[in-house]
């Protein structure tokens, strides 16, 4: 426990955290701070500190999920926020490097988890996206947008709803696609169909959405039928490597995280082949700030097996040599943190329904996942990238004015 005490003192200096060990002893670290809650953790067995030292994120996650740790003075969001705000990316400190026996294995592990081969892609997607559709309905917006929304300011002082922020995200993306009525659009990783339906409704384009999730496919097709647009908005259960073109535009939101670095060149080559000569593609993805890394053990095991968050350098390297030109890059820094905090609030508000769908253990797992995800955008090394590509440098206007004009018009509708 002495080693654990030393780590704690390094982790928390602003705000106060008290640990009650299984043997009755306790330690308090940090100093009270009006801006941060004073929290206490109770370890219900003697293995907890050792598990956390061995792998901070997975060890803490499993102890919390299994009920071996309880939190007083707040919840899991407050705890992870306290720790991450004390070790913000800007400070140069890193929680994940504590213990550092793992550093030498990073390159090897990165290679092992880099590929998302065709044989396991569908199973990896099903692990997360084929959870009950009722679960997602309980915490997402009405359109079931499972990616970062677009907020007007860092603290959402404007007070816009999650629903409006997701509508604004779709307008922001549509504006970058420079759409014209009658165009054919491919939506790679279409989710429950919201983006495809939006693009058809607001821009008059025909959209083909593809997914590897049977649950998402079922909902998306039903929504298209109910809207009476199934002849213009089609959804298919198919790997992006097997779709046939051509398309005027390609959009992919929240799917690139599942491609795997070993397949980036395959992805970009395929997209180039699918695009018409004057085609445009927009990729929206979570991204790393600090360059290539590895997917943490908790995420690999419980949330996104086979998933990997790309660095911008990896995205660009993957597309180099494919004759796709990068024409615009935007970094969304805090939008996802704001989004996930809204998901977290709705998850807490619907606890009884989620526990009824699954159980208490799943509820703790899900809240740990959301709390970790929100705070990594607020204090850690993750952002969102929107990267625009073309085949022909003359396809788009040479200033960004067209984006602003199109976005304003879409929001006006």
- Half-sphere exposure (Cβ direction) of 56: Cα atoms closer than 13 Å: 17
Mean pLDDT of 50-76: 95
pLDDT of res. 132: 83
Structure-token pair, residue 180: 């014209």
Structure-token pair, residue 330: 């935007």
pLDDT of res. 109: 45
The residue behind tokens 């298919």 is: 236
What ranges make up the beta strands (E) of 26-123? 26-31, 39-43, 69-72
pLDDT of res. 3: 86
- What are 175-216's pLDDT values in tens digits? 999 999 999 999 999 999 999 999 999 999 999 999 999 999
For residues 16, 17, 18, 20, the Cα torsion angle rounded to the nearest 10 degrees is 170
pLDDT of res. 108: 42
- What are 308-350's pLDDT values in tens digits? 999 999 999 999 999 999 999 999 999 999 999 999 999 999 9
Q: How many residues does this entry show for the chain?
A: 413
- What are 258-281's pLDDT values in tens digits? 999 999 999 999 999 999 999 999
Is pLDDT above 80 for 126?
no
**Structural domains in the chain?**
2-98 (3.30.1050), 112-412 (3.40.50.150)
């Amino acid at each position: 426990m002495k080693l654990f005490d030393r780590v704690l003192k390094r982790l928390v200096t602003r705000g106060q955290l008290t640990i009650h060990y299984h043997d009755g002893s306790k330690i308090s670290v940090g100093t009270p701070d009006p801006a941060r809650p004073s929290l206490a953790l109770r370890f219900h067995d003697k293995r907890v500190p050792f598990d956390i030292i061995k792998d901070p994120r997975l060890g803490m996650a499993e102890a919390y999920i299994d009920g071996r740790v309880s939190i007083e003075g707040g919840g899991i969001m407050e705890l992870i926020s306290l720790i991450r705000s004390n070790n913000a990316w800007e400070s140069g400190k890193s929680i994940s490097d504590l213990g550092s026996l793992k550093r030498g294995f990073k390159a090897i592990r990165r290679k092992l988890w880099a590929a998302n081969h065709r044989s396991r892609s569908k199973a990896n997607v099903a692990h997360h996206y084929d959870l009950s559709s009722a679960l997602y309905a309980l915490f997402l917006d009405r359109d079931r947008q499972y990616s970062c929304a677009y907020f007007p300011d860092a603290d959402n002082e404007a007070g816009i709803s999650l629903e409006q922020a997701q509508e604004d995200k779709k307008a922001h993306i549509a504006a970058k696609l420079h759409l014209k009525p009658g165009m054919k659009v491919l939506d790679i990783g279409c989710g429950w169909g919201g983006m495809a339906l939006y693009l058809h409704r607001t821009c008059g384009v025909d959209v083909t959405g593809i997914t590897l999730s049977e649950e998402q496919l079922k909902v998306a097709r039903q929504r298209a039928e109910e809207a009476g647009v199934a002849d213009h908005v089609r959804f298919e259960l198919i790997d992006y490597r097997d779709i046939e073109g051509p398309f005027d535009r390609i959009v992919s939101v929240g799917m690139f995280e599942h491609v795997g670095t070993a397949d980036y060149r395959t992805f970009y080559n395929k997209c180039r082949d699918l695009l018409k000569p004057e085609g445009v593609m927009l990729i929206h993805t979570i991204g790393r700030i600090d360059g290539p890394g590895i997917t943490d053990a908790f995420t690999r095991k419980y949330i996104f097996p086979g998933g990997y968050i790309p660095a911008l350098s990896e995205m660009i390297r993957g597309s180099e040599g494919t004759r796709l030109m990068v024409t615009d890059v935007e970094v969304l820094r805090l939008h996802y943190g704001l989004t996930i905090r809204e998901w977290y609030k709705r998850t807490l508000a619907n606890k009884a329904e989620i526990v009824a769908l699954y159980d208490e253990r799943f509820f703790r797992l899900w809240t740990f996942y959301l709390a970790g995800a929100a705070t990594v955008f607020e204090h850690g090394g993750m952002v969102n990238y929107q990267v625009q590509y073309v085949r022909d440098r003359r396809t788009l206007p040479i200033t960004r004015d067209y984006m602003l004009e199109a976005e304003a018009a879409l929001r006006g509708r």
